[in-house]
Structure 1
């Protein structure tokens, strides 16, 4: 089949790879000049299957209320005269029941495990390098109440077959000795040795090169102008590039456009529950090797993740619901650096930090859209929120198998 993949982020590129490996003729359309220039550019770097809880849970509404009006809050909701935002918020609240949270968690865990196994197999077969680290992920806590709340969550993950272990302060310091210099005493943690980390941008760029070598065609600097339909199906996608306005036909189209997926699909009558969740990151040169972390970390109280990417420390997190704005908020950037300084006061050159923001395509229950739309030739692989790097390979292999008429080897609620 001839397949057009829309989007060259980590989801689009992995989709192109597995579709090519399945024998399809693949073309990738991307508005940027190269792969991984938007949401996949500078994310937190974690492959965090064992901590992939949905945002929507019984505690979430109260947390959001506590943070209202705080400019540097981990979760900031900027209310707008936008019914799509309010509709998304109501759907989010509907997912905050105990029953829905567990259902969503089970699906996220299945997809995450499948994806991590798929990534490891891809890495073994291709030799791809992307500053990957396989020492696991340590969640540390500086507030006793937060640590105590994490203990039953770890037990629940254990019931789902995940290796999430509660650790004492001494055990946390053995796992990551750089935490000894923290100005905020660590009170405990949970550790998942099977999780990983790595640079999603480097991975995506390297895999795009391998795709090209395998015969995948790329159309960069190419804006999507709409779709052309005949009867009850999509026949072509209109694009505007260096060759002017064109209509590109294919047997199948895969939408992997992140937060922009819903904007492109609304004219077709497809309304996705996706809203952009703006995230921030700081990439900081490591200054003192023994004072900077090597194990990937999560600061649960401040909703930050740390990943060591070669000679740099990537710190990412916070959620800001502010529409499609990509403006960097100086207050939120400062809040990230202030927290990192508290934990690793001598670990990095904070004056040389590079800040970035990207729009993560969030669904109310954190479950991505993977599957066919009401148009037989139009498929979705989008809406992964903060878990795009964690779920990319499994989602991509699944969509390639679905398009090929096969049943994916993962028990997931495909939609």
Structure 2
């Protein structure tokens, strides 16, 4: 089968790998000059099945107001006349119930755990390296109130058999020895030993090279204008230069830009771009830097060791498709890493980046078939594209190939929104 994949981020490239492995003739299209150049370029570096949680949950509306009033704000909302923003926010608020949170987290953990296992197999099959580490994630609580509410997450982890450790300050220091230098700034933590880290950009580019050796064609520097359709099927992809490409099946994996592509077909994807930021700084003292990932729960900032660098990622900014680099967001990231790992890296030499996370209101990506017989989606992963990429690509290859996926995918496609309505 000839398959066109639209988008060469970590999600699109992993889908290409699994579809090619299944024997299909795959072509990947992207407007960038290489793979993994947009949202996958400088994300937080986490492969975190245990930390896979929807943003919508009980108490979030109240917390959101508090976050908006903080000096170092985890959440920033810019005034907008865009009705899509308010429609998306309304759907997200509708998911802020205990029942919705448990349902959404359960399916996110299901896909993320499967994806972590798929990544492990891919690593063994290909020998790929990407500054990877398998030393777990430490969610660090600065206040007793944060620690007291941890059962909301651990109850779901118990149901799915995801291992975790609740740690006192001494336990946190054993997991991340550099925190001994700032003892007294935290009261405990939740450690997820099954989580991993790695550079998604390096992974995506190296996997694209592997895919190319398997016969996958990558066409960079091309802009997709529209999908053509007739009689319930996609008949081609129109490019900006006038060229039309045809295939037997099509995969829309363009992140935050996927909804605009599918809207003319009558497919309404509730995906909104949530802007995230990161800084990357060189390590100056390895013993004073994190061993793996530390999640600063107060500021919703992830601090991750990637080889000889520290990647610091966070902030949820609702600003549409604006990619302006805003200094207050940099200040928040610098404050978090400087407060917890003051001697680990050189903040003065940090690079600053922003990208658009394609978020769904319920936190779960939209992976699977559409009402068009040969059109599939692989988008809406939010902050978890790196975590869920391999699993999403693997189940999508099964769905397109007519095989039963290894996990339940009945609640992953866009159809779940029609059912909810």
Shorter-chain TM-score bucket reads over 0.9
Is it true that 1:313 corresponds to 2:310 in the alignment?
yes
- Give 1:104's aligned residue: 104
- Give 1:5's aligned residue: 5
Is it true that 1:185 corresponds to 2:188 in the alignment?
no
Q: Is the 8 A contact 1:256 1:381 kept in 2?
A: yes
- In the superposition, the TM-score normalised over structure 2's length comes to 0.96
- Give 1:75's aligned residue: 75
- Give 2:352's aligned residue: 355
Is it true that 1:15 corresponds to 2:15 in the alignment?
yes
* 1:292-350, Cα deviation, whole Å (9 max, x unpaired): 11122111111011111111000101100110011011011111101211111111101
For 2:86 and 2:71, the matched residues in 1 are separated by 20
- Give 1:34's aligned residue: 34
Please, which moves more after superposition, 89-98 or 69-78? 69-78
Is it true that 1:329 corresponds to 2:326 in the alignment?
yes
- Give 1:272's aligned residue: 269
Matched ranges for 1:6-405 at <5 A: 6-68=6-68, 70=70, 72-182=72-182, 185-240=185-240, 244-405=241-402
Q: Is the 8 A contact 1:305 1:315 kept in 2?
A: yes
Q: Residue 230 of structure 1: CA displacement?
A: 2.1
- Give 2:412's aligned residue: 414
Q: Residue 183 of structure 1: CA displacement?
A: 7.0
Per the alignment, in what secondary structure is the counterpart of residue 3 of structure 2? Answer: strand
Per the alignment, in what secondary structure is the counterpart of residue 67 of structure 1? Answer: helix
Q: Is the 8 A contact 1:172 1:189 kept in 2?
A: yes
* 1:197-225, Cα deviation, whole Å (9 max, x unpaired): 10000000000000001000011000001
For 1:76 and 1:150, the matched residues in 2 are separated by 24
For 1:378 and 1:305, the matched residues in 2 are separated by 35
Q: Residue 354 of structure 1: CA displacement?
A: 0.4
Q: Residue 79 of structure 1: CA displacement?
A: 3.2
Q: Is the 8 A contact 1:184 1:342 kept in 2?
A: no
For 2:167 and 2:59, the matched residues in 1 are separated by 23
Q: Is the 8 A contact 1:46 1:196 kept in 2?
A: yes
Q: Residue 156 of structure 1: CA displacement?
A: 3.4
For 2:53 and 2:196, the matched residues in 1 are separated by 16
Per the alignment, in what secondary structure is the counterpart of residue 116 of structure 2? Answer: helix
Q: Residue 70 of structure 1: CA displacement?
A: 5.0
* 1:210-244, Cα deviation, whole Å (9 max, x unpaired): 0001000011000001112222221000113xxx3
Structure 1, unaligned stretches of length 5 or more? Answer: none
Q: Is the 8 A contact 2:228 2:236 kept in 1?
A: yes
Q: Is the 8 A contact 2:301 2:336 kept in 1?
A: no
Q: Is the 8 A contact 1:64 1:76 kept in 2?
A: no
Q: What is the number of equivalent residue pairs in this alignment?
A: 412
CA-based RMSD:
1.2
Report runs of 4+ in structure 1 exceeding 6 Å deviation: none
